[in-house]
Amino acid sequence: MTLWPTPNGESAVEFHLDGGRRIDVLARDSKDIPVVIELKVKKGHEYVIGQALYYRACIHEKFSVSEVRTIIVAGEIGPELHLAIKELANVQLFEYQLSMTLTKV
């Protein structure tokens, strides 16, 4: 994936929508399909899907595309969100893990 190309120099990271809302990352996949990436610091709750679907609808309208993918990334994906996305196409969930190694210098 790469960042979505914006014609007027807008950033695809924290991509601004009308009304002051922002998509965390707007990307495109290898088939040039837009991908809305929603990042959550801790847990991905089921209500995140409403936010992501709103963003997806905005991208459909703004760019007149027929398909938009959604990716939700969180430290933990709750069981409610796992269940909720079973009703939707083109939504993927990812959990992240962070680790750090310190070396005295």
- pLDDT tens per residue, range 12-45: 888 988 888 999 999 999 999 999 999 998 877 7
Whether the predicted pLDDT of 8 surpasses 80: no
| Environment class of 35 (CB within 10 Å of its CB; exposed 0-12, middle 13-18, buried 19+) | buried
Domain boundaries, the chain: 2-95
Distance CA(26)–CA(15), nearest Å, equals 6
Using one digit for the tens of pLDDT, what is the confidence trace for 53-74? 999 999 999 899 999 999 999 9
pLDDT given at position 20: 82
The pTM for the full model equals: 0.86
Return the CATH fold of 2-95. Answer: Trna Endonuclease; Chain: A, domain 1 (3.40.1350)
Identify the residue with better confidence: 42 or 95.
95
Identify the residue with better confidence: 11 or 93.
93
Confidence of residue 47 (pLDDT cuts 50, 70, 90): confident
